[in-house]
Structure 1
Amino acid sequence: MAAARPKHRYSESPLRALLNIISTSVDAIDAAYASANLPHPSLDAPYDPHAPGEALRSDPGVAAAAKNIIGAAAQMIAELEHPFQGVTSTAYAFHQAAAISIASHLDLSEILHDAGPGGVALDEIASKSGASEVLLAKVLRLLATQHIFREVKPGVFTNNRLSSTLNKGKPYSVLARSREERLVGTSGRAALIEFTGDECFKASAALVDVALDRDPKDEQIALKRAFALGPSESLFQWHTRPENKARKERFACAMQGTAESDNSEGLFQGFEWGSLPYGALLVDVGSGTGGTLMRVVKRFPGHEFRIVNQDLEGVIETTKRYWKTNMPAYDRVSFQTHDFLTPQPYACAASNYYCKPHVFVLRHILHNWPTAQARVILRHLRAAAGPETQLVVLESALPVVCRESDGTGHDDVVPGAARPPAPRPLLANGGRASASVYRMDTSVYRMDMTMYTLLGGSERTIGEYAALFAEAGWRLERVCRLPGTEQCHIVARPGAKSID
C-alpha cells in the first residue's frame, strides 16, 4: 500500500497579501472620512480643490493608505495579467500621451464644462473644436477607458474628476478667440500637459536613436535631435528663439504652476531656517523669481536675514519686479546677475566672516545638469564657502527599487538618508504609487527620464548626491525628507578642503 502523500502547507499567496494591504488601507481611509463626516470625492464629478473631501486626501494617514492601495492594486494587475500584455500596454502608452495632449490643445474639458453633466455629442464637439469627429471618438474613448472623461451615452461625453483638472478656468468662447492668450493666468496644469505632449513627447521619440548611437561625437541629448538645436544650444536658449515665444510662455506658465502647487509648508518641514543666526546671509543660486527665500523671510521676520538672489540677466529683472511687488519694504535683499557655471561672486577672503554666506540654496538646479556641470556648480560654491557655510539642495531623491541600500553606506551614518520601505510584498519604493515630485507633476522616475531627455540631467539617489558632493569638496550631513513626496532638503557642509 502506497504511503499517504503529505498535505502541502501553503503560505499566504502574494495576491492575498496584496489584498490584505488594500483591505486594511481602505478601512483606514473609510474611517477617516466617517470621522470627518465627509463623503469620498466622486470619480464622476468634476474636481473641486476646495472641497473638504479633497483636502482630506492630503491628510498624511489618508495619503499613506492611498499610496499602499495604488501600489498594491497595480502590483496585483502585474501578477494577474499575461506578462506580454503588461509589456505591450507600456509600449502603446504613447497613444495615451498623444490623446491627453490633443484633449488639452482642443480645450475639450472647457467644451464639456460649458454643457454640464448631460454631456456633449461627438458631432457638436467636432463642430466647436474643428477636429475630426472620427479622431475625437478615438481620443475620448481611449481616455475614458483610463477614467479621464466619461461616456454617458453612446457618442456623448462629459467631464469627470480627472478630466476637469485640464480646465483652464476660462469659458471656451474666450479660449477660442485667442490661442496665444489661452494659457495666461491659468493654474498651469494644462500648460504642463501641453509642454509634456510637445517638447517632452517628441524628444522622447528620439531617445531610442540616442541609445543606439555608438558615435561619442554625436549629440546625446534627445531634445537636440528631435528639434535640431544648435551644438551648444540648451532647451532654455532654444526657447528664446522668436519662433518659440509661445513655447517659452507655456513653459513659464507650467513651471510657475508646479512651484505654486508645492506643499506650502514643505519648505519649513525640512531645513531648520529658524536656527540660523540673526542677519544670516542666504544666497539663492539660480533663484528664478526668488520666491523660496521670500517665504523664509516672511516666516522669520525677526531674523532680519540678508538675501541675495542670483540668476541670469533676463531672469534677475523679473526677480526684482517680483520682490518689489510682494515685499516692497524689505531692504535687506540684493540682486546679482550671475551664471552659476562661473566662479561665485561671494568668494571673499576667509578672514572676512561677514561676507561669507551662511547658506547657499540650490532649488531644483542640479537635476537640470549632467554630473560634470553639476560638479562645476558645486565646486564654485565650495570655493566661496566659509567653515560654517551650509549648502541646502532642494531636490528629489531617487529611490532604488530594491530593499537594499544603494551601496554607499551613507544610509547607516547620515540622518534621514534611509528611506522607509513600503510594506511587503510591495516593491520597496511603493511601485506604481511611488511618490510624486510635485503634487501637480509626475513620479520621480518619469522626471528622471524627462530631465535626461531634455537636458542630459538626472534625478539622483542619496548615494549619488553624496558622491557628487565629495567630488566637489562638500560633505553630506543630513537629509530632511518631506512628507508624501520624494522631495528632500539635502544638507551639506564644506569637506576637509576646497577643491579648485
Structure 2
Amino acid sequence: MAAPRPKRRYLESPLRALLNIISTSVDAIDAAYTSTNLPHPSLDAPYDPHAPGEALRSVPRVAAAAKNIIGAAAQMIAELEHPFQGVTSTAYAFHQAAAISIASQLDLSEILHDAGPSGVALDEIASKSGASEVLLAKVLRLLATQHIFREVKPGLFTNNRLSSTLSKGKPHYVLARSPEERLVGTSGRAALIEFTGDECFKASAALVDAALDPKGEQIALKRAFGIGPSESLFQWHARPENKARKERFACAMQGTTESDNSEGLFQGFEWGSLPHGASLVDVGSGTGGTLMRVVKRYPEHKFRIVNQDLDGVIETAKRYWKTNLPTYDRVSFQTHDFLTPQPQTCAATNYDKPRVFVLRHIMHNWPSAQARAILRHLRAAAGSETQLVVLESALPVVCRESDGTSDHDIVPGAVRPPAPRPLLANGGRASASIYRMDMTVSKQDPSLHVNLF
C-alpha cells in the first residue's frame, strides 16, 4: 500500500494577510458602534460634524482601526491592479484635482443642498452655476466615481457625505449675490480646496521644470505666477491685486484643522493645567481657530487669547471669531510679522505675561535660517514660566528600518509603532496626506529646487 502523500503547506498570501487586517479592524469598529448604540455615518447622507457617530470616528481605537483598513484596502488594490494602470491612475489624478476645484468654485454642493436628497438635473445645475452642462456631467461623474457626489438617476445628482464637506454654510443665492464674501465666515474647508486648486495646483504644474532646472533659481510657485525672486508667498499675497487670494488663504488655514486629529491638540499639551486667565499667544494664527478650540474646551479658565498675523489676515481672524465665538471678550488681535521681534514679552505686567506661545503649521514653511529667527524672537520675549507649543508633523520613512536620522528618531516622543505587516510601516494610503503636504510646502533648502512655495 502506497504511503499517503504529505499535506501541501501553503504560505499565507499577501491578499489573505491584508484581508485579515481589514476583517479584524472592521470588527473593532463595529464593536465600538454597537457598544455605544450609534449608527455608522452613511456615505449617502450629508456630513454632520456634530453627529455622535462622527465623533466616534475620532476615538483613538476607532481611528487606528480605520487607518489600518484604508492602508490595507489601498495595498490590496495595488496588489491586484495592473501595475501600469496603477501608475497611470496617479499620472491622471490632476483631472480629479481640477474637478473638485471646479465643483467648489461653482458652489455645486450648495446648489444640490437646496434640492435635498431627490437630486438636481444637470440642466438645472448648469442654469444655476452658469457652467456648461457637458462640462458639469464630466466633472460630477468623475467625482461620483470617487464617491464625491452621487448620481441617483441618469443626469440627476445629489450630495453625499464627502461632497457635503464642500458646503460653505450659505444658500446658493447668497453666494451668487456676493461672490467676494462667499468664503467669509465659513469653516475654511472650501477655501482650502480652492487654494489647493489655484496656487498649489498651478505651482505643481511648474514643479517638473523647477526640479529639473540645473541652476535651481526659481521655485515652482514663482515660475507659475511670475513672482519676484525675493518675494515669498505671503509677500505676494500682500499685493493689492491678490487681496482675495490672501483672505482665501487665511480661511484655508482654518480648513486645515478639519484634517487634523481632532484630539491631537489636547493630547500633546495639558492646557487644563495652565492657571486661569493665562495669556496664550497664537503666532501666525491665521483665523485663530487653534486657540478657539482650546477656549471652547476650557471655558472656565478664561484664557487671554492674542492672535497675531499680518494685517489682512488679522481682519479675517476678527470676522472669524465674531462669527464663531462672538461672546468671548478676552481675545485680542495684533498685527505682527513673526520674523521681527515679538511684542508680547514678559516685560509686561504679570497679567499680560505670555504663558504659552503657539506655532501651528508655521515652521515647515521656512528654511532653517528664518525658522531659527522665529524661535529666537520668541525666546527673547519669554520668561522662566513661558512655554512653547509647536504643532507640526514628523515625516516618517516608508520602510521599517531606520538609520537613526529621521524626525521620528531624533524628536523625543515622535516614535510610533509601525503598522501591522504586510502593510507599509507608515500605514500606506492612510498616511499619504502628510507627504502631499511636504511636497506643497517643503522646508528644504532652495538649492534643492523642489519646493512649490
TM range (shorter): 0.7 to 0.9
Provide the C-alpha distance between the structure 2 equivalents of 1:184 and 1:318, rounded to a whole number of angstroms.
8
- Cα deviation for residue 189 of structure 1 reads 1.7
Q: Aligned partner of 2:74: which letter?
A: A
SS at match of 2:392: strand
Partner residue of 1:452?
Answer: 442
Cα-to-partner distance string for 1:337-373 (whole Å, 9 max, x where unaligned): 5433245568989xxx999976543222101112232
Alignment of 1:407-418 (within 5 A): 407-408=404-405, 415-418=412-415
Residue 256 of structure 1 and its aligned partner are, at CA, apart by 2.8
SS where residue 151 of structure 1 aligns? strand
How many angstroms apart in 2 are the aligned matches of 1:184 and 1:40? 32
Q: Does 1:433 align with 2:426?
A: no
Residue 169 of structure 1: aligned partner: 169
Instruction: Tell me what 1:73 maps to.
Output: 73
State the SS of the aligned residue for 2:388. Answer: strand
Instruction: Provide, for residues 270-295 of structure 1, a one-character-per-residue CA deviation record: whole Å limited to 9, x for no partner.
Output: 12345567997765443456665576
Match of 2:138 in 1: 138
CA shift for structure 1 position 414: 6.2
The residue number in structure 1 matching 2:239 is 241
- Select 1:394's aligned residue among 386, 391, 398: 391
Mean CA deviation greater in 260-269 or 36-45: 260-269
CA RMSD of aligned residues (A): 3.9
Q: Deviations over 1:83-135 (max 9, x none)?
A: 11111000000000111111111222222222232322222222222222221
CA distance in 2, matches of 1:280, 1:115: 47
**Aligned partner of residue 389 in structure 2, secondary structure:** strand
Q: Is the contact between residue 32 and residue 62 of structure 2 (CA under 8 Å) also seen in structure 1?
A: yes
In structure 2, the residue matched to 1:153 is 153
Note the alpha carbon deviations across 1:18-67, whole angstroms, 9 max, x for none: 00001111112222222233332222222222333223222222222111
User: Do the aligned partners of 1:281 and 1:359 also contact (CA within 8 Å) in 2?
Assistant: yes
Letter in 2 for 1:127: S
Cα offsets for 1:295-345 (capped at 9, x unmatched): 6678778989887665445656777896996543x5xx8876543324556
User: What is aligned with 2:59?
Assistant: 59
Residues 415-448 of structure 1, C-alpha deviation per residue, up to 9 Å, x if partnerless?
412112111111111111128xxxxxxx211111
- The one-letter code sitting in structure 2 at the alignment partner of 1:74 is A
Inter-CA distance 13–406: structure 2 relative to 1 (3 Å threshold)? same
Q: Give the deviation of 1:223 after TM superposition.
A: 1.1
Task: Report the structure, 1 or 2, having the larger helix content.
Answer: 2
Tell me the residue number matched to 1:198: 198
Aligned counterpart, 1:219: 218
Residue 369 of structure 1 aligns to which amino acid in structure 2? Answer: W
> CA 1:4 to 1:106, structure 2 compared with 1: closer, same or farther past 3 Å?
same
Three-state SS of the structure 1 residue aligned to 2:31 is helix
Choose 260-269 or 250-259, whichever is displaced more. Answer: 260-269
TM-score normalised per structure 1: 0.76
Please report the TM-score for the alignment, with normalisation by the length of structure 2: 0.83
Aligned to 1:256: 254
For 1:496, the equivalent position in structure 2 comes to none
How do 1:8-19 and structure 2 match up within 5 A? 9-19=9-19
Aligned equivalent of 1:96: 96
Distance 1:101 1:378, change over 3 A: same
Is the 2:310–2:337 contact (alpha carbons within 8 Å) kept by the matching residues of 1? yes
Report the alpha carbon displacement of residue 406 of structure 1 after superposing the two structures with TM: 5.3
Q: Which piece of structure 1 moves more, 147-156 or 78-87?
A: 147-156
2:247/2:316 contact within 8 Å kept: no
User: 8 Å contact 1:126–1:136 — kept in the other structure?
Assistant: yes
Structure 1 residues 143-183: Cα deviation after superposition (integer angstroms, max 9, x where no partner)? 11111112222222222221122222222222222322222
Percent sequence identity is 86
Question: 2: CA distance between counterparts of 1:183 and 1:454?
Answer: 32
Structure 2 partner of 1:366: 363
- Structure 1 219/63 Cα, relative in aligned 2: closer, same or farther at 3 Å? same
Q: How many residues align?
A: 441
Q: 1:215 to 1:6 in 2, by over 3 A?
A: farther
3-state SS of the aligned residue for 1:58? coil
Q: Which amino acid aligns with 1:403?
A: R
- 1:198 CA displacement: 0.9
Indicate conservation of the 8 Å contact 1:369/1:457, yes or no: no
CA distance in 1 between partners of 2:286 and 2:142 (Å)? 38
Contact conserved, 2:150 with 2:160, CA < 8 A, in 1? yes
What letter is aligned with 1:94? F
